[in-house]
């Protein structure tokens, strides 16, 4: 992973920093590595976990109506699993997914250790979403 520090002064002083994506520095503040980020991965994990839990008979998904993230209307879905804590078979007790109503992509996924949403395990929230903003491959070259 290549990190570009925020702010002009920090970029001048530090330049770019290379960090192994599976190293301890990259995992320090997240339950997932950068190669597990993005809308596709964010949905694949819950789908795989849900399929496994459904086969074992402990899965519950609920439609919780509508919400909003970054002033965009969302559909809100919640999943409940038999969570037993870190290192257990399931990653969370409650997962709340906000799907953008227009584009049907996840704009927020919130993972909790409890069904009352008191212990947040992790969150994935997209703001200022712009699909197909007119970028080319050249914009992503280092």
- Tell me the pLDDT tens digit for each residue of 62-114: 999 999 999 999 999 999 999 999 889 899 999 999 999 999 988 999 999 99
- The answer to whether 21 touches 33, Cβ cutoff 8 Å, is yes
- The answer to whether 74 touches 99, Cβ cutoff 8 Å, is yes
pLDDT digits (tens, 9 = 90+) for 15-29: 666 667 777 776 666
According to the 3-state scheme, what is the secondary structure of the chain? Answer: CEECCCCHHHHHHHCCEECCCCCHHHHCCCCCCHHHCCHHHHHHHHHHHHHHHHHHCCCEEEEEEEEEECCEEEEEEEEECCCCCCCCCCCCCEEEEEEECCCCCEEEEEEECCCCCCCEEEEEECCCCCCCCCCCHHHHCC
Please report, for the chain, the start and end positions of each structural domain, with discontinuous segments joined by +.
57-140
Task: Look at the pTM and tell me if it is higher than 0.75.
Answer: no
In the chain, the percentage of residues whose pLDDT exceeds 70 is 76
Q: Report the CATH superfamily, name and number, of domain 57-140.
A: Lipoprotein localisation LolA/LolB/LppX (2.50.20.10)
User: Per the structure block, which two tokens stand in for 91?
Assistant: 């990653």
């Amino acid at each position: 992973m290549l990190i570009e520090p925020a702010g002009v002064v920090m970029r001048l002083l530090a330049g770019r920093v290379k960090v192994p994506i599976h190293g301890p520095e990259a995992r320090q503040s997240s339950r997932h590595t950068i190669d597990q980020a993005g809308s596709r991965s964010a949905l694949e994990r819950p789908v795989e976990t849900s399929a496994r839990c459904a086969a074992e008979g402990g899965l519950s998904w609920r439609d919780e109506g509508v919400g909003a993230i970054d002033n965009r209307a969302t559909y809100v879905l919640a999943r409940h699993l038999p969570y037993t804590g870190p290192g257990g078979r399931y990653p969370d007790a409650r997962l709340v997914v906000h799907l953008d109503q227009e584009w049907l992509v996840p704009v927020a996924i919130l993972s909790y250790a409890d069904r009352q949403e008191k212990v947040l395990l992790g969150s994935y929230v997209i703001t200022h979403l712009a699909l197909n903003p007119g970028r080319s491959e050249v914009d992503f070259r280092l």
